[in-house]
Amino acid sequence: MNAVPRVAVCLVTWNSEAHLARCLDSVFAQQGVELEVVVVDNASTDGTLRVFEQRAGRLKLIRNSENRGFAAAQNQAIRETRAEWVLCLNPDVVLELGFTRALVAAAAPRASVGAVCGKLLRLLPDGAKPTVPLIDSTGIYFTPTQRHIDRGSNQPDRGQYGRREYVFGATAAAALYRRALVDDVSVDGEFFDEDFFAYREDADLAWRAQLAGWRCLYVPEAVGYHVRRVLPENRRALPPALNYHSVKNRFLMRMKNMGWPLYWRLFLFMKARDLALFVYVLAAERTSLPAFGFLWRNRARIWAKRRLVQAKRRVSDAELAGWFRFRPTSYPADVAPMRIAILGTRGVPANYGGFETLAEELGARLAARGHEVSVYGRRAHIQYDQPTYRGMRIVLLPTLATKYLDTVVNTFLSVFHVAAKHADVVFACNVANSPFMWVPRVVGQPTVLNVDGLDRRRRKWSWLGRAYLWVCEWLALLTPTVMVTDARVMQDYYRRRYGKRSTLIAYGAEPKDVGGATDVIERCGLKPGRYVLYVSRLEPENNPELVIRAFERLKTDLQLAVVGGNPYRPDYVDSLKQTRDPRIVFTGPIYGAGYWQLQRHAALYVHATEV
């Protein structure tokens, strides 16, 4: 039996008597969750405290002697809680009975989701619902001009936001946060940046969460109602203090979170609006001019925060750029799980070459998204004895472990095995496997073949091997459902030579943060920052001999680290090791964190591959 989830509800009040009772009553009526309610009052002077007195014993009240702002008060409340989930709530929000439970249920199984929002509909100031339901917010999005806007704001609710989606962020009027996110993105103990005081602090938090690799999930079945008082079109009617914070926080958020690639990408859009805003402030809103003074006086503290935020970055600006559009951007969250088979490699864990690394990284990411991934491997090469690895199912089949038969025998067995297992898609690596791609297709399984480079040009193959690979190259035009190339030059080659269109998916890399660790380097007899790094499978077309001979002629106190091996040509590897230069170190193959140590501390990297 599943335990009832525990949720901390954090409210901040300031002269909130008009709406507070409705809000609290809707909180206490939540079903399917265990609540701890913490309220921080920012020195209210109306009847707010009387509302709390009527509900004494059901919440914890913290009273500030002054208005510390929404951000600081929310941080106070959050620090008083220990629950796995934190619901930040405005006192002018009313929740339907299952709001909180729906958010938790949707987010709990998705480990990458750190923030969750529901569908907020507009509530009139007197607590009545409009005759035609109006959307208040279904998450927030950013435009290229650096405006952040509530999705669907002021639109009639006709079901247009009726599916679960990943959005940029959640409005803090009613946002659920995972405790792990709170701990991960807080800066100097502040979850919400207290320099913001109020307004845009939720957009800043959403940006920091995106940088750190967290997702925000929109859950339409969780419905609440919000009395919206701050809208772009009623700026002139807003208190001067609020407009001041709006101007200040527009630039404060950017100074902390925006990387230079994104800055230059959006430069013209941002500066056009910045100029318009500055002219408006000079002409009609001079009470906001001190915002620029605040940014200048506190620039050192802001840049210190920026360094801390950027140190936690796990997502590049190129990935983030897709969120900054003039129309709301979202991505579907509930994609039906697929049964995916990956074959044609030695298997996982990766311990040989690029195909194995591709299989591991692609398979692990697909598994993390809820897909059922099976990675086929060769029993002779994989010593890992567990049935699963990083969420992938491991299927080990026999092979003939020789240079010419290793791949084709194992793939031949794999395609018949997978054909009987009802996979939704089969992904294969290596053009040498193209003769077998028809087998899954016969039983209705789509196949994707990554052809890699021009393997037939490698010097390691005899004339018979090159002839076989030439036939495989031709069959790759026919047997798979989709051909994938991983480099523009290969895509152009197949198009020019055969008139075949392929899908280009370039390889990526995810550098590991190894900090200052040097244990692997030291075990290899290397000195950090004092070696040249060469990494490849040690075979003639990768030119390790050329690199070694060139290095032997250099007058330098640097070392040369030769990383790699070749199980099919140990004699060739032994011939390379005949060098008499004591500066040259052969480390053998190194993977994972050790490899990234070598990359991080190298003085120079050499790449000499021909094919």
Q: Which two tokens stand for residue 55?
A: 């509900």
- Residue-wise pLDDT for 63-104, tens only, equals 999 999 999 999 999 999 999 999 999 999 999 999 999 999
Residues of the chain with pLDDT > 70: what percent? 97
| Topology of domain 519-606, CATH | Rossmann fold (3.40.50)
Length of the chain: 611
**Mean pLDDT score, 181-195:** 94
Residue 234 has pLDDT above 70, yes or no: no
Using the 8-state DSSP alphabet, how is residue 140 labeled?
A: E
Q: Work out the pLDDT band at 233, boundaries 50, 70, 90.
A: low
Mark 319-333 as b/e (b = at least 16 C-beta within 10 Å). ebeebbeeebbbeeb
Listed residue (9, 22, 11, 84) closest to 51, CA to CA = 22
- Residue-wise pLDDT for 559-573, tens only, equals 999 999 888 788 999
Q: Work out the pLDDT band at 264, boundaries 50, 70, 90.
A: very high
Cα(416)–Cα(439) distance, rounded to whole angstroms?
Answer: 7
Residue 128 has pLDDT above 60, yes or no: yes
Domains 6-323 and 339-504 share a fold: no
Cα(39)–Cα(53) distance, rounded to whole angstroms?
Answer: 12
Cα(406)–Cα(400) distance, rounded to whole angstroms?
Answer: 5
Q: Which two tokens stand for residue 34?
A: 């265990």
**CATH architecture classification, 339-504:** 3-Layer(aba) Sandwich (3.40)
Cα(117)–Cα(95) distance, rounded to whole angstroms?
Answer: 12
**Mean pLDDT score, 108-126:** 93
Q: Is the dihedral of CA 494, 497, 501, 504 positive or negative?
A: positive
Residue-range domain boundaries for the chain = 6-323, 339-504, 519-606
**Mean pLDDT score, 419-440:** 92
Q: Work out the pLDDT band at 350, boundaries 50, 70, 90.
A: confident
Cα(480)–Cα(302) distance, rounded to whole angstroms?
Answer: 54
β-sheet bridge partners, residue 606: 534
Cα(219)–Cα(139) distance, rounded to whole angstroms?
Answer: 10
Residue of 336 and 501 predicted with greater confidence:
501
Q: Work out the pLDDT band at 513, boundaries 50, 70, 90.
A: low
pLDDT of residue 2: 57
**Mean pLDDT score, 238-245:** 84
Q: Work out the pLDDT band at 453, boundaries 50, 70, 90.
A: confident
In a 3-state reduction of DSSP, which class is residue 330? coil
CB 185 within 8 A of CB 171: no
Listed residue (500, 451, 208, 168) closest to 323, CA to CA = 168
Pick the CATH number of 6-323 from 3.40.50.2300, 3.30.60.50, 3.90.550.10, 3.10.20.30: 3.90.550.10
pLDDT of residue 237: 67
> Among 359-368, 393-402, 451-460, which is the least confidently predicted range?
451-460
What long-range pairs does 303-311 form, CB within 8 A, spacing at least 24?
303/255, 305/187, 305/188, 305/193, 305/195, 305/256, 306/255, 306/256, 306/257, 308/187, 308/188, 309/187, 309/208, 309/211, 309/256, 309/257, 310/211, 310/259
Cα(610)–Cα(608) distance, rounded to whole angstroms?
Answer: 7
Residue 396 has pLDDT above 80, yes or no: yes
> Among 218-222, 443-447, 606-610, which is the least confidently predicted range?
606-610
Q: Which helix (H) or strand (E) holds 440?
A: helix 438-442
pLDDT of residue 611: 65
Q: Which two tokens stand for residue 18?
A: 């008009």
Residue 340 has pLDDT above 80, yes or no: yes
**Mean pLDDT score, 409-430:** 93
Cα(409)–Cα(399) distance, rounded to whole angstroms?
Answer: 6
Q: Which two tokens stand for residue 495?
A: 């198009």
C-alpha to C-alpha distances, 235 to 156, 199, 230, 380, 432, nearest whole angstrom: 22, 13, 8, 70, 65
> Among 269-283, 512-526, 544-558, which is the least confidently predicted range?
512-526
The pTM assigned to this predicted structure is 0.61
Residue 266 CA from chain centroid, whole number = 21
Q: Work out the pLDDT band at 514, boundaries 50, 70, 90.
A: low
Residue of 423 and 318 predicted with greater confidence:
423
pLDDT of residue 61: 95
Cα(23)–Cα(556) distance, rounded to whole angstroms?
Answer: 73
pLDDT of residue 1: 37
In a 3-state reduction of DSSP, which class is residue 413? helix
